[in-house]
Amino acid sequence: MKERVGIVGIGVTGFNSVSPSLSFKELTYTAAVKAYGEAGLHPKQIDSFITASEDFMEGYSIFDEYVPDQMGAVMRPVHTVTADFLQALGVGCMMINTGRFTTIAVEAHSKASNVKTLDEVQAFALDPVYLRPLKENAKFVAGLEMKCFLEMTGNTEEQCARVVVKNKKNSQKNPNAAYGAELSVDDVLNSEPISTPLKRLDVSERADGAIMVVLASEAEARALCKNPIWIDGIAWFSGNGNLWSRNIAEADYARLAMRKACSMAGISDPRKELHFAEICDEYSYKELQHLEALGLARKGEAGYLTESGVTSLDGDFPVNPSGGSLGVGHTFEASGGMKLYEAVLQLRNQAGARQVKDAKRCLVQSWRGVPTATGAVAILSNE
C-alpha cells in the first residue's frame, strides 16, 4: 500500500440472534452514530461511503437504493460492493490512496433473522446449470471441503470440535456475542449430522448486527485521533470460481490474500510478527483450514495447535478471542467487520476480560461462505 490508512472511528450494535425492535435502517444508524461519534466527524465531513451487501440477504432487488439515509450520506458519493466487509474496507483504503479522498465510511450489517428461507438463499448461490439440479442443501459444499481437508492434512473431527469449544468459551467473555456456551468436545461430536463429517455444532448460527468504520489518510488520522489503529496491509483474492474444478482441500484465496497483505505490511514471519488473529470460522474446520492457508500453522498442524492450547485465549497465539462466528454469531457480509471490531478493541487495549496481552499487531481474515472461494486479509497495528 502506498500509504497506510487509519481507523479513526468504529461503531457496532451488539450481535443477536434476532433484532425485532429495529429496522435495518435503525440498526445501521445505531452503528453509524457511534462510529462518527468516535471519529468526531459529522457525516458531511466524510468524503465517500461504501456498503457491503447482497440483495438476496436483504430481500431487495437493488439494495443499494436503501443505504444512504442511515449513513447520513444523502446526495453523497456512495457505492455498494457485493462482498465481505473486509473487501469493502480494502476498497476504502484504495480510494484514500488515490489522493482524491481523505475520509471514508464503510458499513455492513446483517438482518439474517429476517430471511425466512436462508437455506434456499444459500442454494440460490449454487451454479444453476451444474449444481442446483442436484437439489442438495448448500452446506453439502462445506461437508465436501471438510472431508477433503481432514483427509489431506490428517487433522481430525475431534480437533474441529475443539475449535467450537474454544470459540464458544471465548465468546462467554464477549458482551456482544450471541452464542456463548460451555460445551464439551463430545457435545459437538454427538450433535446431529448435517453433511458428514459436518455436524450441527460445527456450523455457526446466524446473527443480526451492524458495523461502521471511519477510515482516514495517515495524516488526517493523526490529526483526528490520538491512537488510530493502522491498516498496514489489506488484500482480497478469489480461488477458482468453479466448485468442480477447485482445490477444495486448501483455501487458496486465503493463501494468496495473506501473501499480498504481508508484502504490503512488510511482514516476513507472520507467526512471530503478529500477536493474535481473528479468522473466519463460519464452520469449525474453516478455522483450521485457514490457519494452514495463512501460514500460521504448517500443513496438518492446525488441529494440534488448537488441542495444545496455542490458539486459546491464554495461549501463545490466540485465534478468535472474540469467539468468532461460532461464538458471536455469523453475520454474512458483516462477518469480517465483526472480527475487525474485535481486532480494534484488542489493539486499543479495550477488550476487557478477553484482552490479549501486549497485542500490537494482528490479522483479520474473512471468507464469503459457500459456495465461494473468495476471502480477504487485513493486517492491523496500533503503532
Partner 1 sequence: MKIEKVPMKGLTSEEYEKALKISWKPKLQYAWDNGIAIGKYLQGLKEGKLLASCCNRCGRIMLPVRSFCELCWRPTDGEIAVNDTGVVNTFAICHVNWDASRLKPDEPRHIPAVIEIDGASKGQGIMHVLGNVDPAKVKIGMKVKAVWKPVAERVGSIDDIRFFEPY
Partner 2 sequence: MGYRKVAIVGAGITKFVRRAEETGPEMAYLASKMALDQAGLKLKDVEMITLGTAPDAFDGVHMKGEYLLSGAGGNGKQYIRNFVGGGTGVFAPIHGWMHVASGACDVCLVVCSEKMSSCHPHPQGAFLTIFDHTTEQPLKPTLIWIFALEMRRYMETYGLTKADIARVAVKNKNNALDHPSSQVADTVTLEDVLNSEVLAEPVHRLDISPASDGAAAMVLVSEHVAKRLTDKPVWIDGVGWNLDTAYWATKDLYYPRYVEKAARMAYEMAGITEPHKQIQVAEPYDPFDYKELHHLEGLLLCERGDAARLTAEGYTARTGNLPVCPSGGALGVGNPIAATGLMKVIEIFLQLREEAGKRQVPGKPRVGLAQAWGDLMQVGTVIVLRR
Binding site for partner 1 (CB under 8 A): 19-27, 29, 36, 42-44, 56, 59, 68-70, 72, 74, 111, 113-117, 120-121, 124, 128-129, 132-133
DSSP assignment of 126-164, as one string?
A: S-TTTTGGG---TTHHHHHHHHHHHHHH---HHHHHHHH
- Give me the phi and psi of 329, to 5 degrees please: 120, 150
Between 88 and 277, name the residue whose CB sits nearer to partner 2.
88
Which of partner 2, partner 1, none does residue 26 bind (CB under 5 to 8 Å by kind)? Answer: partner 1
Q: Which residues pair with 230 in a beta bridge?
A: 6, 381
Between 73 and 313, name the residue whose CB sits nearer to partner 1.
73
Query: Binding residue for partner 2 (CB under 8 A) from 22, 76, 218, 301?
Result: 76
The number of residues that bind partner 2 (CB under 8 A) is: 58
Q: 347, 225 in Cβ contact below 8 A?
A: no
Q: What is the C-alpha R_g of the chain?
A: 19
Helices 157-171 & 140-153, crossing angle to 10 degrees?
120
Lookup result for grid cell 507472520: 270
CA dist 57 and 67 (Å) reads: 14
CA dist 231 and 2 (Å) reads: 12
CA dist 249 and 65 (Å) reads: 39
Q: Does 331 bind partner 2 (CB under 8 A)?
A: no
Which of partner 2, partner 1, none does residue 61 bind (CB under 5 to 8 Å by kind)? Answer: partner 2
Between 49 and 236, name the residue whose CB sits nearer to partner 1.
49
Query: Binding residue for partner 2 (CB under 8 A) from 16, 60, 137, 181?
Result: 60
Query: Binding residue for partner 2 (CB under 8 A) from 183, 198, 216, 256?
Result: 256
Stretch that binds partner 2, among 169-177, 239-247, 321-329, 354-362 (CB under 8 A): 239-247
Q: Does 11 bind partner 2 (CB under 8 A)?
A: no
Q: Does 100 bind partner 2 (CB under 8 A)?
A: yes
Q: How far is CA 23 from CA 36, 74, 93, 113, 381, in A?
A: 20, 18, 29, 12, 34
Q: Note the residue count of the chain.
A: 383
* DSSP H stretches of helix in 140-248: 140-153, 157-171, 185-189, 218-224
Which of partner 1, partner 2, none does residue 134 bind (CB under 5 to 8 Å by kind)? Answer: none
Between 3 and 120, name the residue whose CB sits nearer to partner 1.
120
Which of partner 2, partner 1, none does residue 117 bind (CB under 5 to 8 Å by kind)? Answer: partner 1
Between 73 and 183, name the residue whose CB sits nearer to partner 1.
73
Stretch that binds partner 2, among 94-102, 159-167, 177-185, 212-220 (CB under 8 A): 94-102
CA dist 116 and 121 (Å) reads: 9
- Give me the phi and psi of 176, to 5 degrees please: -90, -5
Report the nearest approach of partner 2 to the CB of residue 178 (Å). 24
Query: Binding residue for partner 2 (CB under 8 A) from 89, 106, 125, 359?
Result: 125
Between 202 and 252, name the residue whose CB sits nearer to partner 2.
252
Nearest to 180 by CA among 365, 313, 32, 317: 313
Which positions touch partner 2 (CB under 8 A)?
A: 1-2, 54-56, 59-62, 64-69, 73-83, 87, 91, 93-100, 121-122, 124-125, 127-129, 235-242, 252, 256, 260, 368, 371-372, 374
